[in-house]
Amino acid sequence: MDPMVIRAHERGHAFFGWLDSYHTFSFGNYMNPDRMNFGALRVLNDDTVAPGEGFGTHPHHNMEIISIPLEGTMMHRDSMGSEQALHVGNVQVMSAGSGLTHSEYNGSATDALKFLQIWIVPHTRNVEPRYDEVNVGTLTPNVEHTIIAPHGHAGAMWIHQDAWLSLADLTEGASLQREQRAPGVGTFVMPIEGSLLVNNTQLARRDAIGLYDASTVTIHAQSAARVLIIDVPVVLA
């Protein structure tokens, strides 16, 4: 199957004054039937929240929600009793399962909050809601760091899906070569910053590519780059 290539300027866009959001996949008022999901990866939003503003308390059900702060401080509160201030270097996971409510606010009165919000469809519905977060610290250059993996993988957080999420900081000219995680699992790559060549497709900042059945994925940094890599089942039961 041909790769899914989504350029940064082709994403959906919503601006509400307090929120400036770009949607890689259909979300809210942005509806593109050709960009509903990449397998189990349902949402990848690139959000900027104005100082002192945020998402008020709202519900979620049966979704694995991952938040990655890029700038500023994210204040998180949920119905499970979790209250956290998340900064650059933190990655947050929330399994909504049978239902929860939460809020996310910019913790600064002067500076913008920028973060990625990722939703992955779970393989099991109505599980008990759960929360987890980790500080990944400074990434070793030119190494793929797996932050989320299927349940039971040592050294990584987990979600209710056979999915992986990784980050890598690549120096200019460096490359990563990786094998397909498992049969039926595709690889989605986005340069958060910088530019890449992924299996001979050029990607600029916030462009993305979804590779459905590539046995090998080669990621080459054409400039210094921070890379988001998400591996998910591409055929859902």
Cβ(235)–Cβ(184) below 8 Å: yes
Residue 153, pLDDT score: 85
Count of helix runs (H) and strand runs (E) in the chain: 0, 21
Q: How many CB atoms lie within 10 A of CB 151?
A: 11
Burial 202-222 (b: 16+ CB within 10 A, else e): ebeebbbbbbbebeebebbbb
Token readout for 39 is 């397998």
Assess whether pLDDT exceeds 90 at residue 208.
yes
Q: What is the pTM of this model?
A: 0.97
Give me the chain's average pLDDT, please: 96
**Domain coordinates of the chain in residue numbers?**
12-135, 145-233
| Six-digit token string for 158 | 């987990």
pLDDT digits (tens, 9 = 90+) for 70-119: 999 999 999 999 999 999 999 999 999 999 999 999 999 999 999 999 99
Give the CATH class of 12-135. Answer: mainly beta
Q: How far apart are CA 63 and CA 38, in angstroms?
A: 15
Tell me the pLDDT tens digit for each residue of 148-205. Answer: 999 888 889 999 999 999 999 999 999 999 999 999 999 999 999 999 999 999 999 9
Per CATH, 12-135 and 145-233 having the same topology is answered yes
**Region 19-40: what's the mean pLDDT?**
97
Choose the CATH number for 145-233 among 3.40.50.1400, 3.40.640.10, 3.40.1280.10, 2.60.120.10. 2.60.120.10
